[in-house]
Structure 1
Amino acid sequence: MTHEVLRRIEESAPKLAALADENERLGKLSEDTVALLRSAGVLRLLQPAKHGGYVAHPRDFAEAVMAVARHDGAAGWVCGVTGVHPWEVAQMDPRVGDEIWGGNPDTWIASPYMPGGIAEPSGDGYVLNGRWPFSSGSDHCEWDFLGALAGDGGGNPVNPPEVLHVILPRADYELVEDSWDVMGLCGTGSKDVVVQGAFIPSYRTVGQGDVMEGQAAERNGATETLYKLPFSAMFPLGITAAVVGICEGGLAAHVAQQRDRVAVTGVQIRDDPYVLYSTGEAAAEIEASRIQLIEGISRLYDLIDAGKPVGVEERSNVRRNQVRCAWRAVHALDEIFARSGGNAIRRNNPLQRYWRDAHAGLQHMIHVPGTAYHGNALAQMGLDLPPQLAVLV
């Protein structure tokens, strides 16, 4: 059954598509785009029910992100990145959710999780300093999740390193306005975040390892199956879904443009077997990416829902496939973009924006294939993964 959020996205699809160019010019999502996303409820899909959320199946979340990205890649990316943050808040001290959504269930949370600062212990909490790039959707968010290295009290990280996820209200961090100047995903507004001496109470922090292993959810009473899923599968899910959705949008634009296009030779493209072959093959590859992405997270959900353990190999298989889904879909988009004719590169042609956005999406660290494939091969052999390969498994 189609989720109500997905139905609302499709109802607003023409408006979302019409706003995509404006978002790119602004370097962030427009207020009109944000209003459409809020009205659809995309970012409440993984939110706890007590705070106005849907506690939706992660499949519904992925499909919603893909649906938005088909019409506007930047909007889909923001939904995929920020949309997973309510899932993590649900696993934290209940006071955090009350603070964020107590007055408004449509409050958004940005990130990045990269440990770009040091959190020094201070009383019942930490003092944080640092700078973090790539805080997608930050102009429209009132809170920010940041990764931080626990400090030793002397300005250095503890050894061995301990990564914390900390969450701050808007008053405690600064956005660097001129820090987002890129060639793709321009409309995401993924600006740098700077924190200078902000105090973070302990209850607004969680160990990255505790989230990875599901200990945070258990400790704080998040009993729904959704919140027992591994971070290594849920964090990348929305990001990969955005890339696949962008490629679906690019395919649709290509097909629409080729229907009546005539080549310089006078041959109609509908009679060109080479373009048609590539189009059909690309459609199959992009659909395969969609199916594999949804199948992986659904398989994990079903295992956990049945009370069965999810081991390293199973988690590694899902990560491997998420990476492959993104690269397969973008490669397919490359094949049809190369056969879309000279007009595809015009700024007023949405196809070139889909192409740029898709390639920008591959630059995210969760889509680096080397570590995912290397780690998966070791996991299949029953061997232990070294820390640098196990970090997102």
Structure 2
Amino acid sequence: MATDTPSRTELVRRAAELVPLLQKNAPTAEEDRSLPEDTVAALADSGLLKMRVPVQHGGYESDMRTVVEVLAELGRGCGSTSWTAAVWAVSTWMVGLFPDEVQEEVFATPDVRISGILSPSAMAVPTEGGIVLNGRWAFNTGVRLSSWNTNAAVLAHPDGSFEPIMTLLPVADLGVIDDWHTSGLRGSGSVTTVAENLFVPTERVLPLGPALQGHHLSRRNAGRTIYRAPFLPTAVATVSGPALGLAKAARDAFFERLPGRGISYTSYEKQSDAPLTHLQVAEATVKIDEAEFHAYAAADLLDAKGASGEEWTMEERARARLRVGAVCSRAKEAVDILNTASGGSSIYHSVPIQRIERDIQTVNMHSIMHPNTNLELYGRVLCGLEPNTQYI
């Protein structure tokens, strides 16, 4: 069932209205290692979980620029919430690649939440009517708050060959290992899940190679703008939003504490009077602007290519990875500056900047977002070499 699509301005406004709640709930999310119920309810009530749901299932099919701006706004409130919403958005989009009858089942649940893992850390073997799956997936963000999981695996064919696949699994069929004891993004609840001799019907198995190239099994979505895109550029553009949001959150947190603060063991009774502070906030702002440029450039390219239907070049695919690396790097640099400028009292858990610092560090460690890895990949392509990964 189609629905009216809210404008970008409207969706960003809804996200902005959630920021005070997310800021209030962020310490609880970190302590509980999961998003609070009222945070999840607020996301659903706002309609933001519909951004990547197909229109025929009541979703918005929002363009990538809208998704990134919304996630950045959520990141101003809570990094874990923004990261979880980003994973849900990517995984929801992924369901749109499966056969239409599968989508009917998944999206029959209003505001359904779908998490997912790209690492093929499980093995599957063919059986009558489908596959049997065994393995585990670490870093499974938001899975305990989700109904479905899109998880990658390797399918072992009888002839000895192997094929990467994406599976769609009911979360209720998976075991959960409560191992998410981390320094950053603690509220994302990215626990490990386990499949043991799990039967998956054929219609819930998607060849991953074609999906990475933008080819899928859905007839209804084949011509839709947001589905005219390879998987990796879609995924990395999406997750640039939380990184950008964390940088903006650091700036907000710093300026909120600035009035009335001095610099200990100096003559500055007001930190805001110190030239050092002027240099710090200016440099951090420039880096945030640079992060925003790269995040929006990646999103705008996806939207432009989707609208035109033009094929992606290898350089453009690698540049999408470069963009997210640049977002993460610049965002971390900005947060580092503002954290350094926040003084000794900022180490208390009640001060948001220390959590933001740990969250942005965690984002930068993600293998698909790591700045150095993505710089190398892009440089290889520019030098005429083949990519050293299929995740492009």
Q: Name the TM tier (shorter chain).
A: over 0.9
Q: Measured at CA, do residues 221 and 300 of structure 1 come closer, stay the same or move farther in structure 2, by a change above 3 Å? A: closer
Shift of 1:2: 3.6
Within the candidate set 358, 361, 374, 2:360 is matched to: 358
**How far apart are the structure 1 equivalents of 2:204 and 2:263?**
60
For residues 68-87 of structure 1, the aligned pairs below 5 Å read 68-87=74-93
Partners of 1:74 and 1:186 within 8 A in 2: yes
**How far apart are the structure 2 equivalents of 1:136 and 1:149?**
21
Partners of 2:294 and 2:326 within 8 A in 1: no
Within the candidate set 376, 381, 384, 1:374 is matched to: 376
**How far apart are the structure 2 equivalents of 1:234 and 1:49?**
18
Counterpart in 1 of 2:3?
Answer: none
Partners of 1:326 and 1:362 within 8 A in 2: yes
Within the candidate set 306, 309, 312, 2:308 is matched to: 306
Normalised by the length of structure 2, the TM-score is 0.94
Within the candidate set 12, 28, 31, 1:6 is matched to: 12
Counterpart in 2 of 1:199?
Answer: 199
Tell me whether 1:51 sits opposite 2:57 in the alignment: yes
Within the candidate set 113, 117, 121, 2:122 is matched to: 117
Partners of 1:243 and 1:358 within 8 A in 2: yes
Tell me whether 1:25 sits opposite 2:31 in the alignment: yes
Counterpart in 1 of 2:283?
Answer: 281
Q: Which runs of 5+ in 2 are unaligned?
A: 1-6
2:121 match: secondary structure: strand
What do the CA deviations read for 1:277-333 (whole angstroms, capped 9, x no partner)? 111111111122112211222123213322322210111112112111111110121
**How far apart are the structure 2 equivalents of 1:40 and 1:7?**
10
Code of the residue aligned with 1:111 in structure 2: it is G
Normalised by the length of structure 1, the TM-score is 0.93
**How far apart are the structure 2 equivalents of 1:215 and 1:112?**
19
Counterpart in 2 of 1:261?
Answer: 261
1:149 match: secondary structure: strand
Counterpart in 1 of 2:224?
Answer: 224
Partners of 1:300 and 1:310 within 8 A in 2: no
2:152 match: secondary structure: strand
Within the candidate set 148, 152, 156, 2:157 is matched to: 152
What do the CA deviations read for 1:67-100 (whole angstroms, capped 9, x no partner)? 1111011101101111111211112101221111
Code of the residue aligned with 1:259 in structure 2: it is P
What do the CA deviations read for 1:332-377 (whole angstroms, capped 9, x no partner)? 2111211210011111101111111111111111122344222212
Shift of 1:258: 1.9
**How far apart are the structure 2 equivalents of 1:243 and 1:307?**
28
Shift of 1:225: 1.3
**How far apart are the structure 1 equivalents of 2:275 and 2:18?**
35
**How far apart are the structure 2 equivalents of 1:74 and 1:357?**
8
Partners of 1:173 and 1:195 within 8 A in 2: yes
Shift of 1:141: 0.1
Partners of 2:237 and 2:320 within 8 A in 1: no
Q: Which runs of 5+ in 1 are unaligned?
A: none
Moved more, 326-335 or 296-305: 296-305
RMSD: 1.7
Tell me whether 1:107 sits opposite 2:112 in the alignment: yes
Code of the residue aligned with 1:188 in structure 2: it is S
**Following TM superposition, where does structure 1 have runs of at least 4 consecutive aligned residues deviating by more than 4 angstroms?**
217-221
Shift of 1:384: 4.1
**How far apart are the structure 2 equivalents of 1:181 and 1:25?**
10
Code of the residue aligned with 2:54 in structure 1: it is P
Kindly tell me the number of residue pairs found equivalent between the two proteins. Answer: 384
**How far apart are the structure 2 equivalents of 1:5 and 1:52?**
16
1:9 match: secondary structure: helix
Counterpart in 2 of 1:167?
Answer: 168
Partners of 1:128 and 1:195 within 8 A in 2: yes
Tell me whether 1:329 sits opposite 2:335 in the alignment: no
Partners of 2:72 and 2:245 within 8 A in 1: yes
Partners of 1:79 and 1:238 within 8 A in 2: no
2:112 match: secondary structure: coil
Q: Measured at CA, do residues 129 and 377 of structure 1 come closer, stay the same or move farther in structure 2, by a change above 3 Å? A: same
**How far apart are the structure 1 equivalents of 2:236 and 2:298?**
12
Q: Measured at CA, do residues 272 and 240 of structure 1 come closer, stay the same or move farther in structure 2, by a change above 3 Å? A: same
For residues 57-68 of structure 1, the aligned pairs below 5 Å read 57-68=63-74
Counterpart in 2 of 1:210?
Answer: 210
Identity between Structure 1 and Structure 2 (%) = 28
Partners of 2:123 and 2:154 within 8 A in 1: yes
Code of the residue aligned with 2:103 in structure 1: it is G
Shift of 1:199: 0.6
**How far apart are the structure 2 equivalents of 1:67 and 1:351?**
17
Partners of 1:217 and 1:223 within 8 A in 2: no
Partners of 2:96 and 2:218 within 8 A in 1: no
Within the candidate set 129, 134, 140, 1:135 is matched to: 140
Shift of 1:260: 2.2
Code of the residue aligned with 1:119 in structure 2: it is A
Partners of 2:23 and 2:78 within 8 A in 1: yes
Q: Measured at CA, do residues 304 and 49 of structure 1 come closer, stay the same or move farther in structure 2, by a change above 3 Å? A: closer
**How far apart are the structure 2 equivalents of 1:230 and 1:343?**
46
1:366 match: secondary structure: coil
